[in-house]
Structure 1
Amino acid sequence: MSWSLPAQLRGALRLCRSAWTQTARVALDIALPTLCVACREPVAGEGVCAACWGKLSFIAPPFCSRLGIPFVYDPGPGILSMQAIADPPAYQRARAAVRYDDVARTLVHQLKYHDRTDLAPTMGRWMARAGKELLADADLLVPVPLHWRRGFSRRFNQSGALARAIGQQSGVAISRDALRRIRPTEHQIGLSRTERASNVQGAFKVPPERRAEIHGRRVILVDDVLTSGATTDACARALLRAKAAQVDVLVFARVVEAHKVPI
């Protein structure tokens, strides 16, 4: 014989649990000061303290109009970096909020591996500002997907959290399922540029039922970090095969190699 609580009682219990959780969270916030995610010093509000804020290297013009790589001097409008000329990517433009330095790495790792989803709104706000030019032309935000096995172990996709924050800032629609990672890939850390490209080749696909959503649309791929560009390039190729009109890339941080001199 099965037995269940009446619907009204179940609803009352859910309200009690919700109220208790909220009360416990407030009590914890009062008991423990908010700490800077980078240096662990107490900080007013959330995110980073003033000292770590000063260490963040925000990317601003002048930069390569294709890859968003910052230049050491202003060569004039529309100038491309040597990398963009020698090895142009499948995507049209890439923009990043900050350089991938120590503080940026800590923010990314806290979001990605330690469930600090509370950082996504701030990081997304910085990304929306860096990608203002891209967002003005965009129809759709598509986060770089995780394979379902990795998504299950992490419990959430950090790129999806960032895309949601950017969408709230910009009003651009989000499609979380327009792109799928159809096979698991090795971690890219420690791989050469060639190995990274081989690792993600053929790993992404637009499902047949999502092709109409992509066809003719101007898409922005959203990710946390841009290193060699192999992952975003593989994603862009999959979207272009599905007849996307254009694919741009917006990330929180990008690795910037030294001595990037424009031509």
Structure 2
Amino acid sequence: MRVSCAVSKPFRAAFQTAVSTIYPPRCLGCGALVDSDFGLCSSCWRETPFIGGLVCDSCGLPLQGAGDGHRIECDHCMTRPRPWAQGRAALLYADRARALVLALKHGDRPDVARSAARWMGQAARPILRPGALVVPVPLHWTRLLRRRYNQAALLARGVAAQAGMDHCADLLHRFRRTPMLEHATADDRFATLRSAIRVHPRRAHLLPGRPVLLIDDVMTSGATLSACAKACRAAGAAVVDVLTLARVALDD
């Protein structure tokens, strides 16, 4: 066994070198050659609006000005109070970030999730709670069948692995199929998602008294995350926070 292990290490290194030679690392955004796998070239990096600085404590939307140590919220979150405690997002849903989200969501590009989860983990550092359970927003089974994977579940798994936290991919269940909501108003979104998501009865024992970190790819109005947060709280979650890959900057 010792000889086998000693031989396997150089073999793996040689194999990885061969793979890199045949399939060199390429930019997630444009496909240009880059130094390492799952990265962005300098041009795509400049075109990707990462969120930093002062942000809304409820949704992660970037804000102007400087913080004063007190909780601050954007106009949208003040107008419609959220059923969760804190929220963060890694990117603004614009430019190259929008293209990456759409590639992950509709372009059969699950490979995007690896880097995306790393960006999300960095954005989430101020809101991570000890012992929190990482939970993805669910897809209806018909949509999951067509898409073959739940992008939120891929992101949740990556975020949990980085932070050393537990995650449960099927804690939430979308038992009623809802229409696509890209062009719906905020009120229509909330009405459509109302009572469409619930905690899986076989997973309900995981929630009482425990913090939850909800994961989704994009937050627009917050209707889907609200439905998920309410379901978790109704099942006994101690507190719910949310983390998304991207946040849509809504018009005032």
With the shorter chain as reference, the TM-score category is 0.7 to 0.9
Structure 1 equivalent of residue 12 of structure 2: none
CA–CA distance in structure 1, aligned partners of residues 144 and 42 of structure 2: 34
CA–CA distance in structure 2, aligned partners of residues 84 and 192 of structure 1: 16
1:213 matched to 2:206? The reply is yes
Q: Quote the offset at 1:34 in angstroms.
A: 4.3
1:42 matched to 2:15? The reply is no
- 2:132–2:210 CA contact under 8 A, matched in 1: yes
- 1:135–1:172 CA contact under 8 A, matched in 2: no
CA–CA distance in structure 1, aligned partners of residues 248 and 85 of structure 2: 18
- 2:49–2:95 CA contact under 8 A, matched in 1: no
Q: Pick one of 60, 73, 92 that aligns with 2:65.
A: 73
Q: Quote the offset at 1:138 in angstroms.
A: 4.8
CA–CA distance in structure 1, aligned partners of residues 90 and 146 of structure 2: 28
1:223 matched to 2:239? The reply is no
Structure 2 equivalent of residue 97 of structure 1: 90
Structure 2 CA distance for partners of 1:75 and 1:28, relative to 1, 3 Å: closer
> Quick check: 165-174 or 25-34, which moved more?
25-34
For normalisation by structure 1, the TM-score amounts to 0.82
Q: Quote the offset at 1:212 in angstroms.
A: 1.5
Q: How many equivalent pairs are there?
A: 236
Q: Pick one of 77, 80, 94 that aligns with 1:87.
A: 80
Report SS of the residue matched to 1:180.
strand
Q: Quote the offset at 1:120 in angstroms.
A: 1.4
CA–CA distance in structure 2, aligned partners of residues 32 and 129 of structure 1: 28
- Over the matched positions of the two proteins, sequence identity in percent amounts to 38
- 1:47–1:119 CA contact under 8 A, matched in 2: no
Q: Quote the offset at 1:252 in angstroms.
A: 0.6
Structure 2 CA distance for partners of 1:146 and 1:26, relative to 1, 3 Å: farther
The one-letter code matched in structure 1 to 2:242 is V
Matches within 5 A, 1:182-221: 182-221=175-214
Structure 2 CA distance for partners of 1:231 and 1:83, relative to 1, 3 Å: same
Q: Quote the offset at 1:121 in angstroms.
A: 1.7
Q: Pick one of 154, 170, 181 that aligns with 2:147.
A: 154
CA–CA distance in structure 1, aligned partners of residues 108 and 220 of structure 2: 22
Q: Quote the offset at 1:70 in angstroms.
A: 1.2
Q: Pick one of 47, 56, 60 that aligns with 2:52.
A: 60
RMSD: 2.1
Unaligned runs of 5+ in 2: 1-14
Deviations 1:36-59 (A, max 9, x none): 333343333333211110122211
CA–CA distance in structure 1, aligned partners of residues 128 and 72 of structure 2: 21
The one-letter code matched in structure 2 to 1:166 is V
CA–CA distance in structure 1, aligned partners of residues 113 and 59 of structure 2: 23
The one-letter code matched in structure 2 to 1:63 is V
Structure 2 CA distance for partners of 1:138 and 1:65, relative to 1, 3 Å: farther
Structure 2 CA distance for partners of 1:132 and 1:75, relative to 1, 3 Å: closer
> Quick check: 246-255 or 108-117, which moved more?
108-117
